[in-house]
Amino acid sequence: MHDATPKATTVLTHCPYCAMQCGMALVNDGERWSVASRDFPTNRGGLCRKGWTAAALLDAPDRLRTPLMRDHKGGKLRPASWDEALDHVVTRLEEISERSGPDAIGIFGGGGLTNEKAYMLGKFARIGLGTANIDYNGRFCMASAAAAGVKAFGLDRGMPFPMEDISRTQAILTIGGNPAETLPVMMQYFDAQREAGGTLIVVDPRRSETAKRASLHLQLTPGTDAALANGLLHVAIQHGLIDRDFIETRTSGFEAARRTASRYWPDRVERITGVPARQIEQAAHMIGEAETAMLLTGRGPEQQSQGVNNVLSFVNFMLALGKAGKPHCGYAALTGQGNGQGGREHGQKADQLPGYRRIDNPQHRDEVAAVWGVDPADLPKAGLSAVELLNALGQPGGVEALLVMGSNIVVAAPDSSRLLDRLGKLDLLVVADMFLSETAALADVVLPVAQWAEEEGTMTNLEGRILLRRPVRPPPDGVRTDNEVLKGLADRLGKGRYFTSDARETFEELGRASSGGGADYAGVTYERIDAEDGVFWPCPSPGHPGTPRLFLDRFATEDGKARFHAVEHRLSAESPDAGFPYLLTTGRVLQHYNSGAQTRRVDELRAASPEPFVEIHSETARTLGVGDGDLVALTTRRGRIVFKARLTPDIRFDTLFVPFHWGAGSVNALTNAVFDPVSKIPEFKICAVRIEKVGADAARRLNPISNN
């Protein structure tokens, strides 16, 4: 491997960031790489600011190019050879496994890993280490929508129709999503929908950039999503908007949902949610009277301790209207991470095996074990989910060693100050990363790995379209791919025969392992992806056309019917009180992506959004004596951090908003690690908080996480 790049060449590939996975071209003029547009079905030549600047990462000056190790706890990281680093890791893992059992070793993956890496990471956990404890940061993102999709429809594919269908539907109901900033290229479809006479309803505590383009904005109190959904269903039933034939022929469980909704009349829902009763009635009619309609959820309703029920309550509304399982109708979750869809399909979740198989299902275990060439009895059981895994770090009888690949947990995880303490108690922390992220800086061993444009592999975008990323150059000298790292560890563990570092060979095996599962890739090849601009799963055989639109004939349940679920509104884990009188919610901004480990290294993006802030309603700020740009301390039951105030009329009086992309002053030091009982997603979107104006020296004392 070397640093040389080819002269004057163009490579067609995909953006390294969000789940749009926009098609782009990387162009080398003989000296540097730059980004050019590409006419691809999802983005149609468009790119956002992050995409246009993505090539800057390839030449980032702080790129890791050699393994790093500490000789002892508290010592400094020093350069090491690959053999020294991998030998040390395996020696320590074997000691820990022999002393405390294989489940004392944990693996934490990421929703940005390619399908091949996600598959291999899950296989490495179960065969290479024999541990049950593997999960990933997608548990922080899509887990509630995924669980709700399985419960309601029998299958989780974030968007069960192509993105182009958005522009062809008459009415769209978006709950807690802000694609204008998180998936900006997607807005061309919303614009086309509006130009065709369509309506857009946005439910959000903030008047976000997406809400500003809506026909109707419902500004609910955070945590009251299920009450609002039941109110919409109540109006639909009372005003004869429901589709009784669809309910009878294509669903089950309506009567229980109807009885629950009967208690959520608009005036009562207004008192719970803060949304005027007349707007609730208006929204129900706008969706119910449209010939076609879609429901799109974002992280707003999902990242809550009631996340699954929140999603199911809105699905109930759409099922009752007959707006599912038909052309230009349906429910979709706006997937955030680059491979948020594919990353949860093939085994890096604690309870899953490849192809959406369940690890606790004997038949599924037999099927995957046959492909892997192992005894099904040797596969571990389901392990700890992401928050449970992080809570077990360094605890008696818990996880003693952790391998992190594709995630910056110090910034991304909830209650991150407590996580810092747990990481410090580990016997071994190994982090594979491109840069010395906030998490890598704490590791005992840091392994430098390839970037998105230096290796081959597939991603599955938010539509369920399997895409191919092409390398533009090999990794720099001293850098290995994630799969080469896993293969090197497996070799030293005596399990190398089960693994390959070749991405194509891994993908072919993934196809066999997923065959017959819910997410069936068996008919997909790299060549076919190339020829067809991606392939929609399920695609069970080479002659199968792929499945752009799911559920048109039947849902994926045993009887083919979608399921209603009776959902009551429940309070969030924390409610405002005298000590913590406001609600804190978190989210993203246009310029940055996830923990910011990549985008904060791009000069243009860092200059456009250099630091975190707290968004406060102008009138709330006036009562607190806070001016625009003043320093304010936010305090929750978990910590206290200082931010600059940003005043706006576009947020509720009782709500504060902070984006989470920065290591210094990470808002996730304040968020609540309580999680949904089904999806195990943490409650990022709601916690009780107080706010006070502070002096300039407070930030230095109170912001606990160093920035990179």
What distance lies between CA 419 and its chain's CA centroid?
20
Same domain, 348 and 487: yes
Q: What are the two backbone dihedrals, phi and then psi, of residue 636, each rounded to the nearest 5 degrees?
A: -120, -175
Q: Is residue 88 one of the residues assigned to a domain?
A: yes
311: CATH = 3.40.228.10
Q: Residue 129 and residue 106: Cα distance in Å, rounded?
A: 9
Specify the DSSP element, H or E, that contains 261.
helix 254-261
Assess whether pLDDT exceeds 70 at residue 144.
Answer: yes
Same domain, 375 and 427: yes
444: CATH = 3.40.50.740
> Average pLDDT in the 46-54 region?
95
- For 205, the domain range is 159-333
Distances (CA, A) of 40 to 57, 165, 193, 332, 678: 23, 16, 20, 21, 37
Same domain, 459 and 484: yes
pLDDT grade for 705, boundaries at 50, 70 and 90 = very low
Detail the DSSP E strand segments found in 532-592. 535-536, 562-563, 582-587
Count of domains observed in the chain: 3
pTM of the model: 0.94
Given 333, 359, 389, the domain boundary residue is 333
pLDDT in tens, 541-596: 999 999 999 999 999 999 999 999 999 999 999 999 999 999 999 999 889 988 88
pLDDT in tens, 494-526: 999 999 999 999 999 999 999 999 999 999 999
Q: Is residue 399 one of the residues assigned to a domain?
A: yes
Give the pairing type, strands 251-252 and 613-617: unpaired
Q: How many CA atoms within 13 Å lie on the side-chain side of 608?
A: 14
Give the rounded percent of residues in the chain with a pLDDT score beyond 90: 89
Same domain, 597 and 670: yes
Same domain, 132 and 168: no
Three-state DSSP class for residue 322: coil
Same domain, 113 and 217: no
pLDDT averaged over every residue in the chain? 94
Q: Residue 513 and residue 508: Cα distance in Å, rounded?
A: 9
Same domain, 172 and 132: no
Q: Residue 35 and residue 681: Cα distance in Å, rounded?
A: 35
Q: Residue 17 and residue 339: Cα distance in Å, rounded?
A: 9
Distances (CA, A) of 293 to 200, 318, 319, 324, 548: 10, 8, 11, 8, 18
Paired tokens of 635: 């305090």
pLDDT at position 695 is: 85
Which amino acid does the sequence have at 343?
G
Nearest residue to 665 via CA among 599, 596, 582: 596
pLDDT in tens, 636-652: 999 999 999 999 999 99
Task: Name beta bridge partners: 607.
Answer: none
Same domain, 370 and 492: yes
Q: Is residue 121 one of the residues assigned to a domain?
A: yes
Residues with Cβ within 8 Å of residue 271, at least 6 apart in sequence? none
Same domain, 304 and 191: yes
Give the pairing type, strands 457-460 and 465-469: antiparallel
Same domain, 443 and 382: yes
Pick 299 or 705 by higher pLDDT. Answer: 299
Q: How many CA atoms within 13 Å lie on the side-chain side of 165?
A: 21
Phi-psi region of 45 (alpha: psi -120 to 50; beta: other; left: phi over 0): left
Paired tokens of 647: 């005043």
Q: Is residue 129 one of the residues assigned to a domain?
A: yes
> Average pLDDT in the 342-350 region?
93
Given 307, 333, 359, the domain boundary residue is 333
Same domain, 353 and 484: yes
pLDDT at position 514 is: 98
Paired tokens of 583: 């609600």
669: CATH = 2.40.40.20
